Chain A
């Protein structure tokens, strides 16, 4: 069993990937804040069961890419669910991006990511202590 298979570490890693993916989605929203008819998107938060494995619709059936030249559908997240209900006000041009809201989300995302990375290094510390190197 490798270190990465430990339930705590794998759950934290999934959470870090989720934050990484969310940062990408938020950055897409902000950069398109003046594009007509652009709808902002967000990701659904991951849920974990008692053993630390992601549950629910976190593992959808992935489409199989049979050729390297195949395109992935635009905006399709790799493994996380999209929340289509993001954005509540639409400007006359059809753009529904609210910059303040996106900034709040980005700040939250960053703080949560910082918390997860701290937990990850603490868990590594625990491992070091366990093997007598801490």
Chain B
């Protein structure tokens, strides 16, 4: 065995890496939702571009296990929404305003997915804790 910590401690550490990654994903999603209607500060400029979180699996050498990490947060290259609003200060010469390429439906489903994965990781941690408790109960008998 490459490390001294017990397998239960390793299980908890792996699940914690999942919690951290999902929390990071949640942060990116909230950033997208918060900026769903922001426009460019300059007339005719590009507004906020949607960010997409990526996950990667990495070998943690101290844990000797595959943990998950939040990889690079990449910009979504899809087109901006364009609305004709000549009175808007961010409108270009022809009166069109570019809005971010954020779709609230996509963000909401992503958020539900992140929440589900987060809960699954929390479940693993509580299950592992109950198993540790059972081990300690042997001493009590």
Contacts and interface: CB of A to CB of B under 8 A. Distances in A.
Interface of A: 16-17, 19-21, 23-24, 26-28, 30-36, 38, 71-72, 74-75, 78, 99, 102-103, 106-107, 109-110, 113-114, 117, 120-121, 124-125
Interface of B: 1-2, 6-8, 10-12, 14-15, 17-18, 21-22, 25, 54-57, 59, 61, 64-68, 113, 116-117, 120-121, 123-124, 127-128, 130-131, 134-135, 137-138, 141
Contact of A32 (B64, B66, B134): B66
Contact of B141 (A20, A38, A74, A125): A125
B138 A120 contact: yes
Contact of A30 (B1, B59, B121): B121
B120 A99 contact: yes
B66 A28 contact: yes
A106 B124 contact: yes
B128 A34 contact: no
A31 B1 contact: no
Contact of B131 (A78, A102, A113): A113
Given A75-B66, A99-B120, A110-B127, A124 B18 contact: no
A31 B67 contact: yes
Contacts of A21: 7
B21 to A, nearest CB: 7
Contacts of B12: 27
Contacts of B56: 35
Contact of B124 (A27, A34, A75, A121): A27
B126 to A, nearest CB: 9
B65 A28 contact: yes
